[in-house]
Structure 1
Amino acid sequence: MKGITHSKAPYFFIAPTLILLTVFSLLPILVALIISFTDMDLAGLADWSTISFVGLKNYADVITDPIFIKAILNTLFYVVFGVPFVILCSLAIAIMINYGANRIFKVFRVIFYMPSVTNVVAVAVVWGFLYNPIFGLFNYLLEWVQLPAVPWLQDPIMAKISLILMALWRGIGLNMIIFIAALQGIPKTYYEAAQLDGASTWKQLTNITIPMLRFAIFFVSITTMIGWLQFFEEPFIMTNGGPLDSTTSVALFIYRNGFQLSDFGYAAAGSFVLFIAIIVITLVQFRFQSKETDL
């Protein structure tokens, strides 16, 4: 009897987590999957009899929707340019702070981390004023050095770049902390041995630091890419997807159709397209990481 009791003990410890995961994650995903095969709208919430099963029609419509296709291209633009910049800048700042001899570098750790814990709505509003074409600070500085004003949020291409710059500024802090923790876990004996062999700082960086950070880089790459695939708050607050849907992300497209147009079935189909894309990209990254580990 005592052995049976002990064998059941682990299940009692993990039961709360499994229950929360089922109720708040797995069950909503299953409900959203069912909704994606229907024409559910706002009226369907009050009267379920008005909901009809439409099969794969929502998926066929969403993957041929020109706005959704444009949202996919915009999201890819964010990922291709935003993710590498965030990782490189976070790693560079982490290395400078970790190996900086001056105490001022410790203060920079707090300065760079503060944007990550600041409310994204407040940040987006402030940056919206900075990007203002008439009285914004950035154009004022450009005018001060006799350079032409830049249409930060008015030009389709420049608007995407502007959002990436703001998200880059906000996203560096958390990744920087992860990299600093990983850097502090590298044994100093490696660097001492390399210095005795006459290795330069660059050689130490490329042959010791970067290889020892491969798991931290992999983790940051996964989480950063997933975050950029779900890019929503910045375009929603600052541009509302404009101009000409040039900053509309897939997440913003889903929000519009689900919460503004009340086309829940259509929005659910779009969300599962994004869900599948995130899973596929994550699995591909895991595959590449496993190959590098085997080597």
Structure 2
Amino acid sequence: MRQRAWPAYVFLLPWLLGAVTLTLLPMAASLYLSFTDYNLFETPRWVGLANYVELFTQDDRYRTAVVVTLKYVLVSVPLKLLLAFAAALLLNSLRGRGKAFYRSAFYAPSLLGASVGLALAWRSLFDRGGAVPSLLGQLGISTPSWVDDPDWALWAVVLLSAWQFGAPMVIFLAGLQQIPPDLLDAAAVDGAGWWRRLVSVVFPVLSPVIFFNLVLEAIHAFQAFTSAFIISSGRGGPADATLFYTLYLYERGFGDFRMGYAAAMAWILLLVIALVTALLFRSARRWVFYGDDLAGR
């Protein structure tokens, strides 16, 4: 078996080298730097837990970044998944030649990704004199420049994230197309209306897909950076209203040259994402149903 296995290890070697040199070693270096005072130009100086103590006891802007990021995650993730699911239901109901066009049109914004150009265009839409404040003004709704007002700036970033719902939409659509029509027909024969079929048939069958999208979007939301960086002009403003965790991490590491401090922030973020993911997996036992579970229902 060892003689037959060596070709597999040869093919795996490039991936193993990449994982060690590009992931594991940098992670180990980052963990070490998190316990040091390092400014990128001098030799790291060991300070123990000083960076972590400062984060939790002395840095007010760090707490602000945590609160802003949590607000963003709690608002943008449900909103994005809701829009993606609604669009998937709509596209799944379409018949005829136009369905391919509409599917492409709904997915198109996600092709742009978290690009700088898109964030700049989005900022211009919500800035003073932009299309969104002007349109709302014509409808009798007076709003300030979203990107310059602390009460509105975060919503501009949330809407940009929600607008790019194409990726979870495609996954929802694939899941909807796998639901056996017999289940829906049987529920309709029993007198179930559209809402009852959605709640009692579609949601349970689609629960693994919902869980998959929820985990991925939650992780991506914690790592959001580009949109907040561009819309806030790299400052997290106005009044730190868009000071995302990753944005503050970048500021401390590459603006203040406190790379050890930034490394400590990165490891805390990693632990938080791992904890949130573990909690989601634990909660999935109660609301995610697979084949045998659905048969029992």
TM-score (norm 2): 0.90
Name the SS for the 1:245 alignment partner. coil
Aligned CA RMSD, in angstroms, stands at: 1.8
Match of 1:106 in 2: 100
Match of 2:14 in 1: 16
Name the SS for the 2:250 alignment partner. helix
Question: Match for 2:179 among 177, 181, 186?
Answer: 186
Matches within 5 A, 1:131-150: 131-133=126-128, 135-150=129-144
Distance 2:247 2:214 in 1: 22
Aligned length: 286
Name the SS for the 1:213 alignment partner. helix
Matches within 5 A, 1:136-285: 136-170=130-164, 172-239=165-232, 240=234, 241-285=236-280
Is there any run of 5+ residues in structure 2 with no aligned partner, and where?
none
Distance 1:102 1:280 in 2: 45
Distance 2:11 2:279 in 1: 33
Deviation at 1:198, TM superposition (A): 3.0
Distance 1:89 1:26 in 2: 37
**Identity across aligned pairs (percent)?**
33
Distance 1:37 1:223 in 2: 30
Distance 2:185 2:100 in 1: 23
Question: Match for 2:32 among 31, 34, 43?
Answer: 34
**Conserved 8 A contact 2:207-2:287:** no
Match of 2:50 in 1: 57
**Conserved 8 A contact 2:253-2:261:** yes
**Conserved 8 A contact 1:97-1:106:** no
**Conserved 8 A contact 1:83-1:228:** yes
After superposition, give the CA deviation of every residue in 1:40-95 in whole Å (9 maximum; x if it has no partner). Answer: 11212xxx3xx210000011112231001000000000011111101111111111
Distance 2:73 2:140 in 1: 33
**AA partner of residue 225 (structure 1):** A
Match of 1:123 in 2: 118
Deviation at 1:209, TM superposition (A): 1.0
Deviation at 1:195, TM superposition (A): 2.7
Deviation at 1:138, TM superposition (A): 1.1
Deviation at 1:293, TM superposition (A): 5.0
After superposition, give the CA deviation of every residue in 1:200-230 in whole Å (9 maximum; x if it has no partner). Answer: 2222211111111111111110110111111
Name the SS for the 1:153 alignment partner. helix
Is there any run of 5+ residues in structure 1 with no aligned partner, and where?
none
Matched, 1:90 2:84: yes
Deviation at 1:27, TM superposition (A): 1.5
Name the SS for the 1:157 alignment partner. coil
**AA partner of residue 163 (structure 2):** W
**Conserved 8 A contact 2:91-2:102:** yes
